[in-house]
């Protein structure tokens, strides 16, 4: 079972960037697939930590590139990154307190965020980079 299905509306029209985002979603789904084998509390914590780490790493590279190119909308773009990371941390905290992971809520949150972010913030960033 996949957590996050790639959708065409995630595309921003730059092949390399779209591919990188597909790879990130694939990695999230790989980690999630492991939960099909082991849904222990420890495994769920590892899963959420891995998703957070992988997304954080992607954001760090993107933000480094934005800073080096003096991207004028850096602060807004970074703030949107932080919103997703905060949401994931909230889901992690909820699991710690209640001991449950709502896969559907996580999937919906990631799908909504990725769709919105790719179409707005990333599209503007990559237009800036191509100009």
- Does residue 4 belong to any structural domain of this protein? no
Residue 56 maps to which CATH number?
Answer: 1.20.120.50
Structural domain for 68, as ranges: 12-130
Cβ-contact 88, 51 below 8 angstroms: yes
User: What are the Cα distances from residue 98, in Å, to 38, 50, 69?
Assistant: 18, 20, 43
Rounded Cα gap, residues 71 and 65, in angstroms:
9
Q: Which of 120, 36, 8 is nearest to 73 (CA)?
A: 120
Task: Give me 102's structure tokens.
Answer: 């709502």
- Does residue 6 belong to any structural domain of this protein? no
Task: Give me 35's structure tokens.
Answer: 């939960």
- Does residue 68 belong to any structural domain of this protein? yes
> Number of folded domains in the chain?
1
- Does residue 26 belong to any structural domain of this protein? yes
- Does residue 118 belong to any structural domain of this protein? yes
- Does residue 108 belong to any structural domain of this protein? yes
Each residue's pLDDT tens digit, 61-108: 888 888 988 999 999 999 999 999 999 999 899 889 988 888 878 888
Q: What is the pTM for the complete model shown?
A: 0.83
């Amino acid at each position: 079972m996949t957590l996050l299905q790639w959708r065409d509306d995630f595309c921003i029209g730059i092949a390399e960037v779209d591919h990188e985002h597909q790879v990130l979603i694939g990695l999230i789904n790989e980690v999630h697939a492991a939960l099909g084998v082991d849904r222990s509390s420890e495994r769920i914590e590892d899963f959420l930590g891995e998703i957070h780490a992988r997304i954080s790493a992607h954001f760090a590279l993107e933000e480094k590139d934005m800073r080096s190119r003096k991207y004028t909308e850096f602060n807004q773009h970074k703030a949107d990154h932080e919103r997703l990371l905060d949401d994931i941390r909230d889901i992690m905290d909820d699991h710690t307190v209640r001991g449950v992971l709502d896969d559907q809520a996580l999937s919906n949150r990631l799908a909504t965020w990725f769709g919105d972010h790719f179409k707005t913030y990333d599209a503007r960033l990559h237009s800036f980079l191509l100009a």
